[in-house]
Amino acid sequence: MSRLRFCLQLGFTLTVCLFMIVPVIMSVMAGLTANYFVGLESGLTLRWVQEVWALYADTIWLSIRLALACLCFTVLLGVPAAYGLLRSKRRWANAIEEALLLPVAIPGLATALALLLAYGHMRGFRESWLFILIGHVLFTLPFMIRPVLAVMRGARLAELEEAAASLGAGFRQRFLGVVVPNCVGGILAGALMVVTLSIGEFNITWMLHTPLNKTLPVGLADSYASMRLEIGSAYTLIFLAMTLPLLVVIQWAGRFANRSRTP
DSSP code string of 167-230: TT--HHHHIIIIIHHHTHHHHHHHHHHHHHHHHH--HHHHHH--TT---HHHHHHHHHHHS-HH
Q: Residue 256 — pLDDT band, cuts 50, 70, 90?
A: low
Closest to 135 measured CA to CA, from 155, 120, 152: 120
Q: What is the pLDDT of residues 33-44, one digit of tens each?
A: 888 887 778 888
Q: What is the pLDDT of residues 1-16, one digit of tens each?
A: 678 888 889 999 999 9
In this predicted structure, the answer to whether residue 260 has a pLDDT above a threshold of 70 is no
Cα separation, 242 vs 237, in Å, equals 9
Using the Cα atoms of residue 187, residue 189, residue 194 and residue 196 in order, give the sign of their dihedral. Answer: positive
Cα separation, 20 vs 82, in Å, equals 35
Give whole-number Cα distances, 256 to 146, 183, 226, 261, in Å. Answer: 21, 14, 44, 9
Q: What is the pLDDT of residues 101-118, one digit of tens each?
A: 777 778 888 888 989 998
pLDDT of 151 reads 86
Q: What is the pLDDT of residues 54-109, one digit of tens each?
A: 888 888 889 989 999 999 999 999 999 988 888 877 777 777 777 777 777 788 88
